[in-house]
Structure 1
Amino acid sequence: MNTTTDSAPETLRDSMVDTVKESGYARSSGVEAAMRAVPRHAFVHEATLEGAYADIAVITKRAADGSALSCASVPTVVAMMLDQLDVRPGDNILEIGAGTGYNAALLAVLTGPNGRVTTVDIDEEVTTGARRGLDATGNQHVQVTTRDGALGAPENGPYDRIIVTVGAWDLPAAWREQLAPGGRLVVPLRWRGQTRSVAFVRDGDRLVSDRTDLCGFIPMIGQEGEQTGTIDTGGLVSLYFDIDQGIDPAALRGVLDQPRSTVWSEVTVGPTDSFDGVWLNLTATDAGTCRIAAEDEAVASGLCTPVIGWRTPAITDGTSLAYVTYRRIDGPERRSELGAIGHGPARQQLAERLCAQVIVWNRDRDHQPSIDAYPAGTTVAAPPAGVVIDKLDARLVLSP
């Protein structure tokens, strides 16, 4: 579908990388050089030439219902994760999720002629397309394998770097076992309703985080640890939570019709300020953290007014819940004050608890909690004020 435009691919590619850098990514000279060298349009035939170099995801395969099954990720997200991965010349790299093959081509540039890149995907149609794009761009040496990504590729390990380019709810044992001591694993990990690209470093059987960044990815097949349920009679407001939490949406049904308590934080944000750090910090301090999502009809009627309709942090406790909300502040700067709305018997307590975390976040907006990942079943105590999250293959320990 690529069509001729007035701009040459090289010019469009340079403009794409300039946009990525203006967003704060492609920090290393190696990542920048790789993105300027690899022709993205050769991997995304579904897009026009200009679309191939726009800072957008390109969907390359859809399910019968129209949902995305595979795509080329947004270039800024690609650069962000490569920054986290910190590839060195000569590294042996495993990629989980072959996609179009574009990311594997970037990895091949970063690791150089003495390195090795293996990319794995469960979908044969996806790996066939990746192989075609890699061959067309002179990357015949990249190994493409059709396999469940949860199994990794032990035949080529151990790996200095492992990067996962599909949304993962869990951390399969194979990824840790195939990672060399001191090696880095970068994975879009989902917990408590949010997805963060987490950079882990292997320390024995423990994976230790050193950076997390907000992202979104098509979920990995076969990991069903997140659950959802509506909490209003009209089916317009849903909670998303993890299987270890014991949250019962049925116990919360109708809670939004009960009296509300609203608490304001005196913390304000501008129209371009990110406040997702509130959510991240909540996951390390409150075991009841989850995600609330409200349809437009619920917001318009005033039934539920979360700060972002489809993805806002909330906390629950039995038959009560609270979520983050906002109100506009008069003035030319278009600022908003963050607060919390609570419903149910413990509504005031939960709203105050949630609002307190907004205030804590505001004291150091760049702070990130530490995340340690252990094999499932490992005996480890929750840190003071921290949270332990049990998944099927991993136990996460979050410290604020």
Structure 2
Amino acid sequence: MTTITNSPETLRAAMVDNVKAAGHATSPAVEQAMRTVPRHDFVPEAAVGDAYADTAVITKRASDGSALSCASVPTIVAMMLDQLQVEPGDRILEIGAGTGYNAALLARLTGPGGSVTTVDIDPEVTAGARRGLDATGNPHVEVITRDGSLGASENAPYDRIIFTVGAWDLTPAFWEQLAPGGRLVVPLRWRAQTRSVAFVRDGDALVSDSMELCGFVPMIGQEGERSGTIDSDGLVTLYWDVDQTIDAAELSGVLDQSKETVWSEVLVGAAEPFDGIWLRITGHDSRICRICADRAAVNAGLCTPAIPIRSPALADGDSLAYLAIRKVQEGRFELGAIGHGTYGHRLARQLCDEIDVWNHDRNAQPRLRTYPLSTPRAAIPFDPTLNHELIDKAEARLIVSVI
């Protein structure tokens, strides 16, 4: 028999307390919505304890085991809802229906005077979302089966648009369907890292006002990222964007060349994030990419990135350097870089310079502006006091600006 200690209500309260402790659900409205909407009713095949744990609940997998749809991690859900800043009466579009849980939270936030439309390309996913929404008293949320990149023009314009799938690109539909001054929150991927970016529409520009590290199931049909292994056993992989000149074949075998290690003297605690180093580099260096080392490569000493599955690297011709870390005392770690190839030492030194700049203001963030790709470069304003990296995607033009 289920005891009251493990009741859905008790577990839900504990979930929200955990979300609050992590610094999210800062809005009273978001907190109340999460305390009210029954997450377990949207993942009926999961144990109630799993439904309220701070983990994603996978609801559909591909044949290779990769996740195709899920109920997102509650702390990430709260973080993005904080970014979205829903007001009562808002018209909201969600891209990625998932289980329907997030749409139910959105319906709670916008209230009876607003509307929520959620879109997903997979009819099995939308059918499940529809069931969950109906079962929890949300028949007014409209669920549409469609390619999310098209949005839902029939209910536009929207005051708020939120993606609950990872996007590599933004299509013209989102400029056409987002109201002037509206907010768009999207897990946007560039230079092989993903940030939940909150944009505010200013004319034809979407201008960021917050960015948070995250990871999401990618949207189907956006193939702008490339990858390639650089060792003979296929244990180490680089990921980069299609507009970059990185060539995995040219880097093949680079890890077998002599290793150059440079340490920065910058220290971090065991729980201190340092992903801002990577983010900052995307604003001025087109050589930045992601390196991923299999555990066997790490154990053999072939490749030892700071975070084995995702660390920043600089790739230049036949040379490479990646972020590294070493323990210097209990609970304290030093950041550095390891380089290989003709310019390995120089690249490692450059990464350490980036670590040093980041260390002087660890909370600084670049500014992102996004335009339709049709926007002429001459029409885009640039602040001469900042460095800029212009990244052309298939349908959007992204400008990353840093001091």
Q: TM-score category by the smaller chain? A: over 0.9
1:40-51 correspondence runs (5 A): 40-51=39-50
Q: Tell me the alpha carbon deviations over residues 62-94 of structure 1, each in whole angstroms, 9 at most, x when there is no partner.
A: 112221110000000000000000000000000
What residue ranges of structure 1 are gaps of 5+ in the alignment?
none
Alignment match, 1:388 = 390
| One of 344, 358, 364 as aligned partner of 1:347 | 344
CA drift of 1:201 comes to 0.6
Instruction: Report SS of the residue matched to 1:99.
Output: coil
Q: Tell me the alpha carbon deviations over residues 22-52 of structure 1, each in whole angstroms, 9 at most, x when there is no partner.
A: 0000000000000001000110112111111
Alignment match, 2:372 = 375
Deviation above 3 Å: which 4+ runs of structure 1?
Answer: 3-6, 381-384
Give me the whole-angstrom Cα distance separating, in 2, the residues matched to 1:113 and 1:132.
20
1:28-107 correspondence runs (5 A): 28-107=27-106
Give me the whole-angstrom Cα distance separating, in 2, the residues matched to 1:312 and 1:386.
22
Give me the whole-angstrom Cα distance separating, in 2, the residues matched to 1:61 and 1:255.
38
Q: Are the counterparts in 2 of residues 46 and 58 from structure 1 also a CA contact under 8 Å?
A: no
Q: Tell me the alpha carbon deviations over residues 108-166 of structure 1, each in whole angstroms, 9 at most, x when there is no partner.
A: 00001100000000011111111111011110110001010000000000000000000
Give me the whole-angstrom Cα distance separating, in 2, the residues matched to 1:208 and 1:126.
31
Instruction: Report SS of the residue matched to 2:50.
Output: helix
Alignment match, 1:187 = 186
Give me the whole-angstrom Cα distance separating, in 2, the residues matched to 1:97 and 1:304.
36
What residue ranges of structure 2 are gaps of 5+ in the alignment?
none
Alignment match, 1:171 = 170
Q: Tell me the alpha carbon deviations over residues 188-217 of structure 1, each in whole angstroms, 9 at most, x when there is no partner.
A: 011111111000011111110000000110
Q: Are the counterparts in 2 of residues 194 and 291 from structure 1 also a CA contact under 8 Å?
A: yes
1:200-219 correspondence runs (5 A): 200-219=199-218
Is 1:356 paired with 2:353?
Answer: yes
Give me the whole-angstrom Cα distance separating, in 1, the residues matched to 2:54 and 2:293.
28
Identity of aligned residues (%): 66
**Paired amino acid for 2:22:** S
CA drift of 1:347 comes to 1.4
Instruction: Report SS of the residue matched to 1:177.
Output: helix
Instruction: Report SS of the residue matched to 1:249.
Output: coil
Give me the whole-angstrom Cα distance separating, in 1, the residues matched to 2:137 and 2:292.
45
CA drift of 1:285 comes to 2.1
CA drift of 1:264 comes to 1.0
**Paired amino acid for 2:355:** V
Alignment match, 2:229 = 230
CA drift of 1:302 comes to 1.2
Is 1:246 paired with 2:245?
Answer: yes
Alignment match, 1:311 = 310
**Paired amino acid for 1:390:** D
**Paired amino acid for 1:41:** H
Q: Are the counterparts in 2 of residues 5 and 50 from structure 1 also a CA contact under 8 Å?
A: no
Instruction: Report SS of the residue matched to 2:250.
Output: helix
Alignment match, 1:274 = 273
CA drift of 1:263 comes to 1.3
**Paired amino acid for 1:243:** V
Alignment match, 1:127 = 126
CA drift of 1:261 comes to 1.7
* Greater mean deviation of Cα atoms: 297-306 or 119-128: 297-306
**Paired amino acid for 1:319:** D
Give me the whole-angstrom Cα distance separating, in 1, the residues matched to 2:274 and 2:230.
25
Give me the whole-angstrom Cα distance separating, in 1, the residues matched to 2:115 and 2:233.
53
Aligned Cα RMSD in Å?
1.2
CA drift of 1:5 comes to 4.8
CA drift of 1:377 comes to 4.0
Give me the whole-angstrom Cα distance separating, in 1, the residues matched to 2:285 and 2:219.
26
* Greater mean deviation of Cα atoms: 88-97 or 54-63: 54-63
Aligned length in residues: 396
Alignment match, 1:365 = 362
Alignment match, 1:199 = 198
Is 1:15 paired with 2:14?
Answer: yes
Give me the whole-angstrom Cα distance separating, in 2, the residues matched to 1:177 and 1:290.
32
Give me the whole-angstrom Cα distance separating, in 2, the residues matched to 1:232 and 1:174.
41
Residue 4 and residue 63 in structure 1: after superposition, are their counterparts in 2 closer, same or farther (change >3 A)? farther
CA drift of 1:296 comes to 1.1
Residue 68 and residue 5 in structure 1: after superposition, are their counterparts in 2 closer, same or farther (change >3 A)? farther
Give me the whole-angstrom Cα distance separating, in 1, the residues matched to 2:83 and 2:149.
21
CA drift of 1:267 comes to 0.5
Alignment match, 2:319 = 320
Instruction: Report SS of the residue matched to 1:238.
Output: strand
